[in-house]
A and B are shown apart, each in its own frame.
Chain A
C-alpha cells in the first residue's frame, strides 16, 4: 500500500532554533517528493519539489533532503521564526495516474 508517514506528529521549538522534520514513504513507482507548508485556516503552499535524482533542495531557510534508496526525506528549518508555525506536509507523486500521496503532516509551533 502506498503510504507516507511523518514524524514527529507535533513539535514545539523556540524562535531562532533549528529543527528537522522527517518523512518516510512506501510509494512506488516514485516520481517526485514535495514539501508543503500549511498555515492554519489556509491551503498548503509549495516549498520544494525533488525528483529521483535530486538529494537536496533549498528554499530560503528551508532545506529538503531526499534519500531515494532508504525512501526517506527530511525538511530542515534554520533560524526559525514565529511565522514558521504551521503544518508541514510531505507529498509523494507516482509516475502514473493522478495520484499524489499525502502525509498527515507535522504541526510545528515556534514560541517567542
Chain B
C-alpha cells in the first residue's frame, strides 16, 4: 500500500519554464489537495478537489493550475515558473473532510526556480 506518491522529488526550473507535478493515491479517497510549505510558515492550500473531474481554488492559487481526470491522480501545473514559486509542494488526500478523517500526505516535491 503506497499511500500518496508524488513525482518528481526534486526539480530545478528556470524562470518562465513550465512543469507538472504528479500526485497519485491508492486509498480511493475523494478529496485531494495541493499545498506549498515555505520556511517559517504553515502549509498553504493552492488548489483542491472534492472528487473526480472537480477542482477549486485554495488560499494561494495564482500561477498554478490543476486537473483531476482520474480519481486517483491530481496534477499541479506551473505554466510559467517564477522565483516566488520556489517551495516544497505537498499533495494530500482524505476520505472525507470532517470528523476523524486525517489528511494523508506525500513526501513532497522540492522545487527551485532560478
A residues within 8 Å of B by Cβ? Answer: 4, 31-32, 34, 36, 41-46, 49, 51, 89, 91, 93, 95, 98-105
Contact between B105 and A44, CB atoms less than 8 A apart? yes
CB distance from B99 to the nearest CB of A (A): 8
Contact pick for B106, options A43, A89, A91, A104, CB 8 Å: A43
Contact between B102 and A34, CB atoms less than 8 A apart? yes
Residue interface bits B20-36, CB-to-A below 8 A is 1, else 0: 00000000000101010
Enumerate chain B residues within 8 angstroms of A103, measured Cβ to Cβ. 42
CB distance from B44 to the nearest CB of A (A): 8
Most chain A CB within a 10 A radius of its CB, from B35, B40, B103, B105: B103
Contact pick for B45, options A46, A89, A98, A105, CB 8 Å: A98
Query: From DSSP, what is the main secondary structure of chain B's interface residues?
Result: loop
Give the top 10 A-B pairs by smallest Cβ distance, nearest first. A43-B105, A102-B42, A46-B102, A102-B43, A98-B48, A43-B107, A44-B105, A42-B107, A104-B42, A49-B100
The chain A residue with its CB closest to the CB of B56 is A98
Q: How far is the CA of A41 from the CA of B9 in the complex (A)?
A: 10
Most chain B CB within a 10 A radius of its CB, from A51, A89, A93, A100: A100
CB distance from B10 to the nearest CB of A (A): 11
Query: From DSSP, what is the main secondary structure of chain A's interface residues?
Result: strand
Residue interface bits B81-101, CB-to-A below 8 A is 1, else 0: 000000000101000011110
Q: How far is the CA of A108 from the CA of B93 in the complex (A)?
A: 26
Residues 16-73 of B at the A interface (beta carbon under 8 Å): 31, 33, 35, 40-45, 48, 50, 56, 58-59
Enumerate chain A residues within 8 angstroms of B42, measured Cβ to Cβ. 4, 89, 101-105
Enumerate chain A residues within 8 angstroms of B58, measured Cβ to Cβ. 98-99
Contact between A44 and B103, CB atoms less than 8 A apart? yes
Q: How far is the CA of A42 from the CA of B106 in the complex (A)?
A: 8
CB distance from B85 to the nearest CB of A (A): 19
Contact sample, A vs B, 19 pairs, CB 8 Å cutoff: A31-B98, A32-B99, A36-B103, A43-B107, A46-B103, A46-B104, A49-B102, A89-B42, A89-B43, A93-B98, A95-B98, A98-B45, A98-B56, A98-B97, A100-B45, A101-B42, A102-B42, A102-B43, A104-B42
